[in-house]
Structure 1
Amino acid sequence: MTQPTSIVNEPTQRLTAFSAIAIIVGIVIGAGIFKTPSMVAGVTGDAGWLLVAWFLGGLISLAGALCYAELATTYPHAGGDYHFLARAFGKDISFLYAWAKATVINTGSIALLAFVFGDYMTKAINLGPYSSAIWAIGVVVVLTAINLIGISATSWVQTLLTLIEVTGLILVAIAGFYVSGDAPASPALFSTTPSLGMFGLAMVFVLLTYGGWNEAAYISAEVRGGRKAIVPVILISILILTLIYLFVNIALLAGLGLDGLSKSSAVAADLMGKAFGPWGERTLGVFVAVAALTSINATMIVGARTNYALGRDWPALRFMGHWEGGRGSPIRGYMVQSAISLALVIFGIWQTDGFGVMVEFTAPVFWFFLFLVGISVFVMRVRDPQADRPFKVPLYPFTPILFVLTCAYLTYSSVTYAVSKGAVHISLVVMGIGVVALLFMRGVKKPAIAR
């Protein structure tokens, strides 16, 4: 059957600003906000510095978001970071980045979040000795199926999940203020000052919790309203995230006190249980599961677009470079991503701890490439000065310098941490295999797909 001429087999502007914000917020707010506040409290040892850390996390993320806004409006593309790196440093560097995202970073995140979902669902409905894995496999299959339907169904589901997730965080905040009168008194704000090293460690945890806002670049070509439309989407998303994180941490301090917050291994569950009893803890479990679902779905959306961009640029992977115009989605990119994610879930059944370490310690690779994206702002200003830039980074060059220095610090910190755990070789192995794959790709000379 001949395809209707009205269907365009490449990304089109089908996402509303609200849906785009839901995707970004959904990626960022995962299970991390239920874990990291106690770590940050323990490291800083002071309520005032704890709140400063979360505020700075939002400020640094804003600096990065402004850099991305310039790149995304100047060079809108479904490839996101991959496309920016290709323009600034060439296809080889961008391929290695996409390789890391496709094989471990994105698919590994999907698999781990699927296990988080499975753990919480098992508490409600136990399916046997492999219950968590069964739930994990099921959620990957179901969410992939929804994404295969098309971007309209995907964005609707993402918006709904994000609203439920944010509602859960609001309930946690309400619980904190509800029991604030019973919480032990915390020391006065800024009564103690953490060392520079300890505060830096706190910022690592904070920025990891803010991580994911950069994925907005992958949908920059699909937001309605033209190139400038992505700018308010990114900025509003960062503002929402910063306000939510500050609000939740203030509530946790009010409900548990600094000492209780720093010693708790499940801060939100403790707070909900204290405020509403056992049913409150069970309700929180539902919200954590939804948070995992939200992050999985959003990660799938941007991850499949990385695969699509790879297929467009590399003849050996051209089967992934097909865009289903009627659905507004890279269908084959989703299928490849789902296959790798399911393989990692199955591997994780027997190697859950080792698998978690494998994914966690690819952080040096992630932050290094994010550092290169920041550098690309400077490179493209020099290399392509005549390009139409609907949005320019304010306070240039200081804003991108702040972002680049932060990424450099996080690269150093994550490498140091990986070395201390004897796991830095994992990142090296992943990238080593990527180099071999790159050499193979460069040897394939077949023509790329028609554009």
Structure 2
Amino acid sequence: MTEGHVSNTAGEAPRATLRAREAVAITVGIVVGAGIFRTPSLVAGAAESSTMVLLAWAAGGLVSLVGALCYAELASTYPHAGGDYHYLARAFGKRLAFLYAWARLSVIQTGSIVLLAFVFGDYASQLVSLGPASSAIYAALAVSGITGIHWVGVTAGARTQNWLTVAEVVGLAAVIVAGLLVAPAAAPAPAPPDTTAWGLIMVFVLLTFGGWNEAVYVSAELKDAPRRMAPVLVASLGLITVLYLLANAAYLRALGLAGVAASDAVAADVMGLAFGPVGATLISLFIAVAALTSANATVFTGARTAYALGRDHPALAVLGRWDVRAGSPRNAVLLQGLAALALTLVGAFVRDGFKLAVDYTAPVFWTFFLLVGLALFRLRQLDPDIERPFRVPLYPLLPALFVITNAYLLYSSLAYTGKGALLGVAVLAVGGLLILPLQSRNKDTAP
């Protein structure tokens, strides 16, 4: 048994106690986050009509469903706490798995934290503006504050997270009602020129759908998981797609395409039209708190990834130290916080810090989504006789569609996004340069 490994006895193993409806609720809670209150503005800004906006969100639901079916096969065949890290290691080896862990530490989780911090900043600025750089100032305060809390060792309870997720869905429902039934319809506006960038639109849409890949981990606690995992994912993504379509229909009816594109706080603008300043203030406060809650959870999971990376690689052992008194991997928390704060400060010097964080995260995110799709094909070849409790229907057509879509989104995230994308790719490249010296040091320090 290797150091740090704790065996799972029968009493310690997760028990299958979740029913399908509970698993659906968990999955919806993971996916529906603060992004739906911010990315619709970016989608509208890249589209030529309201119809195209709604088609994009519907397509996002379908593409996510195809990906979820691929993940359901991987999760049911290779159950492991390492998730994507484990699938990539089995399919392509430890070097690529290390690169994924590095990307998750330095780009994917960091970018997600900053995305959420800027959502918090945009909506907090609706309440109390701190000047021209108000959103960035709030975002930096959020990153610093949450990092400090986790460094001390205080974390938000699961019950608090669950209640705030419920509140987030209720708030989204309130915006839908306000935009579709209460607020006056926006006056028709001249159609913009045909400049739709479908690739860029889908980058924003599918990042907002992101998180369902984490949801497959409820399979260990789901009753009759091999039979129910796929229906749970289908039902969850169906519900999420309906919510997202209704939310965007509400935004577009109340503000119009141009109004949605110009808004930094689209939900607050809709609630303001429907219920006046009080409505706008309440929804801004609610979304700011929801964004902080999501950021808190992202800091928590991201720091644990960095901790695991330090445990696996002696050369990075400084990250793999756990402070027992604090109950927190303090070094990993601090490094992640500094990286997120640096990206936030860069965002202060651009027009839209939220979009910078999207640009920074998207190419790396889609690179590894693409590789996980390819891993499904590779593992079918490597393990032809292994039991697969769930198989992707219409194989190889649906996995191929998933891979092709991710390849297109990777291209789009590089072709249509700004300099932030190059920064994210450069940070990923640094991880590639670290592989060989780290492996060499690992051999030197091995017992």
TM norm structure 1: 0.80
Within the candidate set 334, 341, 365, 1:339 is matched to 334
Deviation at 1:382, TM superposition (A): 1.0
Distance, in Å, in 1 between the alignment partners of 2:39 and 2:395 is 32
User: 1:85 maps to what in 2?
Assistant: 88
User: 1:429 maps to what in 2?
Assistant: 426
Deviation at 1:415, TM superposition (A): 1.4
Change (3 A) 1:115 1:416: closer
1:249 aligns with 2:238: no
1:31 aligns with 2:34: yes
Change (3 A) 1:157 1:10: farther
Distance, in Å, in 2 between the alignment partners of 1:64 and 1:253 is 28
Which one-letter code corresponds to 1:299 in the other structure? T
Deviation at 1:340, TM superposition (A): 2.3
1:267-308 Cα distance to aligned partner (Å, 9 max, x none): 222211010100111112122213313422442454345345
User: 1:99 maps to what in 2?
Assistant: 102
1:69 aligns with 2:81: no
1:21-61 Cα distance to aligned partner (Å, 9 max, x none): 55644443333322332443343333333222111110000
Which one-letter code corresponds to 2:80 in the other structure? H
Asked if the contact 2:321/2:330 (under 8 Å) is kept, the reply is no
Change (3 A) 1:49 1:431: closer
Which stretches in structure 1 are left out of the alignment for 5+ residues? none
More displaced stretch, 112-121 vs 206-215: 112-121
Distance, in Å, in 2 between the alignment partners of 1:374 and 1:422 is 27
Change (3 A) 1:19 1:304: farther
Asked if the contact 1:176/1:255 (under 8 Å) is kept, the reply is yes
Distance, in Å, in 1 between the alignment partners of 2:172 and 2:27 is 16
Distance, in Å, in 2 between the alignment partners of 1:19 and 1:213 is 15
1:85-104 Cα distance to aligned partner (Å, 9 max, x none): 11111110111111011122
1:220-268 Cα distance to aligned partner (Å, 9 max, x none): 5753447536544433332222111011112223323445444544322
Deviation at 1:185, TM superposition (A): 5.2
Change (3 A) 1:123 1:395: same
Within the candidate set 328, 336, 347, 1:352 is matched to 347
Matches within 5 A, 1:250-289: 250-289=249-288
User: 1:291 maps to what in 2?
Assistant: 290
Change (3 A) 1:429 1:214: same
Distance, in Å, in 1 between the alignment partners of 2:257 and 2:122 is 28
User: 2:3 maps to what in 1?
Assistant: none
More displaced stretch, 300-309 vs 72-81: 300-309
Asked if the contact 2:147/2:299 (under 8 Å) is kept, the reply is no
Distance, in Å, in 1 between the alignment partners of 2:395 and 2:285 is 44
Cα RMSD (Å): 4.0
Distance, in Å, in 2 between the alignment partners of 1:284 and 1:243 is 21
Asked if the contact 2:35/2:116 (under 8 Å) is kept, the reply is no
Change (3 A) 1:391 1:354: farther
1:385-441 Cα distance to aligned partner (Å, 9 max, x none): 1112111111111111111111000111111135xx345542343123212332233
Change (3 A) 1:323 1:403: farther
Change (3 A) 1:163 1:99: same
1:300-347 Cα distance to aligned partner (Å, 9 max, x none): 4543453455356434456767999x9xxx965x54442123213543
Which one-letter code corresponds to 2:426 in the other structure? V
1:389 aligns with 2:388: yes
Distance, in Å, in 2 between the alignment partners of 1:200 and 1:126 is 34
Distance, in Å, in 2 between the alignment partners of 1:447 and 1:135 is 40
TM norm structure 2: 0.81
Deviation at 1:171, TM superposition (A): 0.7
Deviation at 1:139, TM superposition (A): 3.0
Matches within 5 A, 1:6-155: 12-13=13-14, 16=18, 24-117=27-120, 120-121=123-124, 133-142=140-149, 154-155=157-158
Change (3 A) 1:7 1:400: closer
Change (3 A) 1:440 1:235: farther
Which one-letter code corresponds to 1:13 in the other structure? P
Matches within 5 A, 1:324-335: 335=330
Asked if the contact 1:97/1:369 (under 8 Å) is kept, the reply is yes
Distance, in Å, in 2 between the alignment partners of 1:236 and 1:74 is 21
User: 1:440 maps to what in 2?
Assistant: 437
Distance, in Å, in 1 between the alignment partners of 2:50 and 2:429 is 43
Asked if the contact 1:23/1:155 (under 8 Å) is kept, the reply is no
Which one-letter code corresponds to 1:134 in the other structure? L
Asked if the contact 2:50/2:257 (under 8 Å) is kept, the reply is yes
Distance, in Å, in 2 between the alignment partners of 1:323 and 1:69 is 32
Deviation at 1:173, TM superposition (A): 0.5
